[in-house]
């Protein structure tokens, strides 16, 4: 009996030891599986070390040395244990103990097919119930993977209301730049969203917070942890935290972050201080959106079901001062301007500034150089096409009122134009054709948008000279033909042009060479897209498949233009193939010719396409394709943010085909000629788009194929 008892004890001791060993091994195994590094490409130069719940990541940051972030997956600890720069002089810890934080605001989209469905602009989301949520984050597991020159750290477990997702931090080889994104999905329909975001700490990380004011002067505030969060008006959309060892600049994607509005008001898009929104506990810096917008139509962002919405911002590290890191940030948008390209001039369209009615004809002092001209010149815009009298004015008469207004418009445009800046008269007539559209003539033209039966189509006025009176669409077409003018659909398929130009695609005026096509602005906004809005780009393809040689220009469609406004986020331009800016007094026919012939590309500013050929032919031209369909596309590109992809878009008269070419091996601030060989057998046209990691981009017009 005694022997048997001792044997049982021995068995239990051995079994217990085995269980203990198994438990310890299981803990070690779970720690290893907490972080998956199997998809990391070691040849990128990125070094990753995992110790328990800590992930130490170092990446090549160009001439600045190496960037370094230590992530802590312990739920009770800040995610960014340490952030800094490593150089030959050693490691400088710029910040420690930071948490990325996000507030997701969820509202309801009005999805009426008559208003454009998901393409709707005429929606007032903040007038309906909405609620803001702090994204919860449980840090269950993580992975580190490579995608070209990008290193992605993905950490699971973010949620708020019906949205679920993960945090993604993307590091960019060759730059001290990284992106922080909450990638969130919902099953709910008819959802519109906003997000605020930033870096938050429960201890004092920063000595100072800095920003550029709208006058382009650096401002600095000393950090006191008891200071309540405040919304800050800035230029360059950037807020900067400074410590003893350096600075972090935090900023959003320069165009994608701003949902479409009628105004470019500066709505204080950054914040700093304690307990932002009474949801982010701690002291932080970050970006924000105003739910009320310009208090006109406020559509927010679309969040269709099962789409991955990227609520994201960028951080740029610098071991120097706030002024030094801000200068580096400015380079990504060329200091918020459109840089000159040899053989091109920049042209922006669709501005309802109403300078004539609100200043000139109101009897107010007329400035020698109005503020709006300074704004355009600083932005590098050579040619501005206006949309005056959009509300005020007398487009349908009385005749004398209308002619006086046109005379004032033409005089001011002539006065404010010079050798490098051309201010051009234009209107959004919204008569005769249907929907909203823009008119553009190559010289001053006097015309009245009504004609009584007893009045002639054209007559001579003793003071103003030739005057046209238009009574219907046929006379409108005749005027455009006689004066070599152009028309195109404004904000096609949305706003008051919902259903257009589709509704009149069989009309003679639309098929005429006087009707150029349509204009592009990023409506709607959808953060799940790696590009800006596809609404009018899809129309560009449809028109080509209709068998019509139409083109799409960029438009801004905003009202006030001031230095205080957040202009750059709402601007886009057309790079027209022009050697010089035409002289106002000689007319500007070359501008309209470039538009009519498709001799231009559209850009948000960060991505440029100085050369694009298909078998040696440029946009607007016709290229011959061999029977094999094998086609050579040559593209010269110039960019600031690292590129994401190029997309070759083509059509056969019925279907649209897209071939996406990844360019995620590119580094920031590059210039290169790319050559692609694609099969374009049986295609009738082809064009190209180029997009970067911040959803900035450029697109060409078609090359026609035979």
**229-239 pLDDT per residue, tens:** 999 999 999 99
Classify residue 642 by its DSSP letter: P
Residue for token pair 């054709």:
433
* Whole-number pLDDT of residue 20: 45
Mean pLDDT, the chain, rounded, equals: 94
Of the candidates 695, 683, 641, 684, which has an alpha carbon nearest to the alpha carbon of residue 172? Answer: 641
Residue 29 confidence (pLDDT) above 60: no
**Share above pLDDT 70 across residues of the chain, in percent, rounded to a whole number:** 95
Q: Which residues of 638-667 are buried (b: 16+ CB within 10 A; e: fewer)?
A: bbbbbbbbbbbbbbeeeeeeebeeebeebe
- In this predicted structure, what is the pLDDT of residue 115? 86
Token pair belonging to 92: 């400088």
Q: CA triplet 309, 312, 315: central angle to 5 degrees? A: 165
pLDDT value at position 25? Answer: 40
- The tens digit of pLDDT for each residue in 311-344 reads 999 999 999 999 999 999 999 999 999 999 999 9
Would you place residue 104 in the very low, low, confident or very high pLDDT band (cuts 50, 70, 90)? very high
Name the pLDDT band for 401 (thresholds 50, 70, 90): very high
**What are the tokens at 369?**
């150089």
Fill in the DSSP letter of residue 568: H
* For the chain, percent of residues with pLDDT exceeding 90: 93
SS (H, E, C) 347-400: EEECECCCHHHHCHHHCCCCCCCCHHHHHHHHCCCCEEECCECCCCCCCCCCHH
pLDDT tens string 620-664 = 999 999 999 999 999 999 999 999 999 999 999 999 999 999 999
* pTM flag (> 0.85): yes
Quick one: residue 500, left, alpha or beta (phi over 0 = left, psi -120 to 50 = alpha)?
beta
C-alpha to C-alpha distance for 352 and 408, rounded to whole angstroms: 16
CA 362, 363, 369: angle at the middle one, nearest 5?
Answer: 95
95-111 burial code (b ≥16 CB/10 A, e <16): bbbbbbbbbbbbbbbeb
pLDDT at 112: 87
Confidence (pLDDT) at 226 = 86
| Residue written as token pair 């477990």 | 157
| Pairing relationship of beta strands 515-520 and 551-554 according to DSSP bridges | parallel
Two structure tokens written together for 128: 């309906």
Q: Is the pLDDT of residue 590 over 60?
A: yes
Kindly compute the dihedral angle of the four CA atoms of residues 39, 42, 48, 52, in this order, to the nearest 10 degrees: 50
Is pLDDT at 504 greater than 90 in this prediction?
yes
Q: 3-class SS at 87?
A: strand
Phi, psi of 633 (to 5 degrees): -110, 125
pLDDT range class, residue 6, cuts 50, 70, 90? very low
4: pLDDT confidence band, cut at 50, 70 and 90? very low
Q: Report the chain's terminal Cα–Cα distance, integer Å.
A: 100
| Contacts for 388 with CB less than 8 Å, ≥ 6 apart | 352, 353, 354, 355, 356, 357, 409, 425, 426, 427
Which has more confidence, 438 or 5? 438
User: How would you classify the pairing of strands 617-618 and 697-700?
Assistant: unpaired
Number of C-beta neighbours around residue 566 at 10 A: 24
Please name the residue that has the structure tokens 């259903």: 499
- Sign of the four-CA dihedral 140, 145, 150, 151: positive
The tokens of 352 are what? 């309802």
Single out the residue of 382, 393, 474, 376 nearest to residue 428, CA to CA.
Answer: 393
When pLDDT is cut at 50, 70 and 90, the band that residue 33 belongs to is: low
Q: Concatenated DSSP letters for 155-197? A: EEEEEETTEEEEEEEEEETTSSEEEEEEEEE---SSEEEEEEE
CA dihedral 578→579→580→583, nearest 10 degrees, is: -60
Segment 434-445 mean pLDDT: 98
**Rounded average pLDDT over 127-156:** 97
pLDDT of residue 225 exceeding 90 = no
**Rounded Cα gap, residues 704 and 687, in angstroms:** 9
Tokens for 641?
Answer: 């943010």
Instruction: Please report the pLDDT score of residue 487 as a whole number.
Output: 98
Classify residue 215 by its DSSP letter: T
Q: Which residues are within 8 A (CB) of 213 and not within 5 positions of it... i.e. 6 or more apart? A: 219, 233, 234, 235
Query: In the block, which residue shows the tokens 């800050």?
Result: 232
Q: Which of the 8 DSSP states describes residue 618?
A: E
Q: Does residue 23 register a pLDDT over 60? A: no
pLDDT at residue 619, rounded to an integer: 98
CA distances in angstroms from 52 to 29, 72, 82, listed in the order given: 10, 9, 16
The kind and range of the H/E element at 83 are strand 80-87
pLDDT, residue 32, reads 47
Average pLDDT over residues 457-484: 98
Residues in the chain: 706
Edge-first strand listing for the sheet containing 437-440: 437-440, 486-489, 515-520, 551-554
Burial class (CB in 10 A: 0-12, 13-18, 19+), 564: middle
**Residues near 157 by beta carbon (within 8 Å), at least 6 away in sequence:** 136, 137, 138, 139, 140, 141, 166
d(CA 656, CA 571): 28
Closest CA to 640 of 659, 668, 619, 661: 668
Residue 42: pLDDT band (50, 70, 90) is: confident
Task: Quote the pLDDT of residue 38.
Answer: 95
Q: Which residues fall within 8 angstroms of residue 553, CB to CB, at 6 or more apart?
A: 347, 349, 488, 516, 517, 519, 520, 574, 595, 600, 602
**pLDDT grade for 405, boundaries at 50, 70 and 90:** very high
Calculate mean pLDDT across residues 108-124.
Answer: 93
In terms of Cα–Cα distance, which of 112, 110, 109, 108 is closest to 130?
108
Q: Please tell me the number of Cα atoms within 13 Å of 486 on its side-chain side.
A: 27
CA–CA distance, 267 with 604 (Å, rounded to integer): 21
């Amino acid at each position: 009996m005694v022997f048997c008892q001792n044997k049982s004890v021995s068995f239990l001791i051995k079994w217990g030891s085995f269980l203990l060993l198994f438990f310890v091994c299981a803990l070690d195994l779970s720690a290893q599986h907490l972080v998956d590094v199997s998809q990391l490409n070691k040849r990128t130069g990125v070094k990753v070390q995992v110790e328990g719940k800590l992930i130490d990541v170092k990446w090549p940051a160009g001439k600045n040395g190496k960037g370094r972030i230590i992530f802590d997956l312990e739920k009770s600890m800040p995610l960014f244990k340490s952030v800094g720069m490593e150089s030959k002089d050693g490691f400088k810890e710029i910040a420690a103990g930071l948490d990325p934080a996000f507030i997701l605001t969820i509202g309801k989209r009005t999805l009426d097919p008559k208003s454009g469905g998901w393409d709707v602009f005429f929606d007032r989301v903040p007038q309906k119930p909405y609620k803001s949520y702090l994204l919860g984050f449980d840090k269950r597991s993580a992975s580190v993977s490579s995608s070209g020159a990008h290193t992605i750290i993905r950490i699971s477990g973010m949620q708020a209301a019906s949205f679920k997702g993960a945090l993604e931090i993307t590091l960019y080889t060759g730059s001290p730049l990284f992106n922080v994104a909450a990638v969130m999905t919902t099953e709910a329909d008819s959802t519109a969203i906003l997000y605020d975001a930033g870096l938050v700490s429960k201890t004092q990380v920063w000595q100072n917070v800095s920003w550029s004011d709208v006058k382009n002067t650096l401002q600095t505030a000393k950090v006191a942890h008891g200071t309540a969060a405040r919304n800050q008006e800035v230029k360059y959309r950037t807020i900067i935290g400074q410590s003893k060892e350096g600075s972090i600049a935090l900023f959003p994607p320069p165009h994608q972050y701003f949902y479409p509005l009628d105004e470019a008001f500066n709505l204080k898009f950054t914040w700093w201080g304690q307990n932002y929104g009474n949801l982010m506990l701690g002291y932080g810096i970050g970006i924000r959106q105003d739910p009320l917008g310009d208090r006109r139509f406020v559509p927010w962002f679309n969040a269709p079901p099962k789409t991955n919405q990227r609520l994201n911002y960028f951080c740029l590290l610098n071991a120097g001062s706030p002024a030094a890191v801000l200068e580096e940030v400015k380079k990504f948008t060329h200091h918020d301007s459109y840089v000159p390209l040899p053989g091109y001039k920049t042209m922006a369209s669709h501005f309802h500034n109403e300078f004539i009615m609100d200043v000139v004809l109101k009897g107010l002092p007329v400035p020698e150089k109005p503020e709006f001209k300074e704004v355009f010149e600083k932005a590098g815009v050579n040619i501005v096409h206006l949309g005056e009298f959009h509300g005020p004015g007398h487009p349908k008469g009385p005749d004398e009122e209308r002619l006086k207004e046109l005379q004032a418009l033409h005089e001011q445009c002539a006065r404010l134009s010079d050798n490098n800046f051309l201010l051009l008269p234009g209107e959004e007539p919204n008569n005769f054709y249907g929907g909203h559209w823009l008119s553009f003539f190559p010289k001053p033209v006097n015309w009245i948008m009504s004609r009584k039966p007893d009045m002639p189509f054209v007559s001579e006025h003793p003071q103003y000279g030739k005057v046209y009176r238009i009574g219907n669409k046929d006379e409108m077409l005749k005027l455009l033909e006689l004066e070599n003018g152009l028309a195109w659909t404004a904000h096609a398929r949305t706003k008051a042009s919902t259903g257009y130009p589709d509704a009149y695609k069989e009309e003679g005026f639309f098929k005429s060479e006087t009707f150029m096509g349509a204009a592009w602005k990023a409506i709607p906004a959808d953060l799940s897209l790696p590009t800006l809005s596809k609404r009018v780009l899809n129309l560009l393809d449809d028109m080509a498949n209709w068998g019509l040689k139409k083109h799409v220009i960029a438009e801004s469609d905003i009202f006030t233009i001031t230095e205080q406004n957040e202009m750059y986020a709402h601007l886009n331009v057309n790079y027209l193939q022009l050697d010089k800016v035409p002289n106002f007094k000689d007319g500007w026919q070359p501008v309209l010719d470039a538009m009519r012939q498709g001799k231009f590309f559209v850009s948000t500013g960060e991505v440029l396409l100085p050369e694009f050929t298909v078998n040696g032919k440029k946009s607007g031209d016709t290229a011959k394709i061999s029977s094999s369909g094998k086609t050579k596309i040559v593209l010269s590109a110039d960019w600031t943010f690292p590129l994401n992809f190029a997309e070759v878009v083509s059509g056969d008269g019925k279907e649209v085909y897209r071939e996406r070419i990844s360019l995620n091996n590119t580094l920031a601030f590059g210039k290169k000629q790319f050559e692609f060989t694609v099969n374009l057998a049986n295609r009738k046209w082809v064009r190209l788009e180029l997009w970067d990691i911040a959803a900035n981009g450029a697109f060409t017009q078609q090359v026609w194929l035979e």
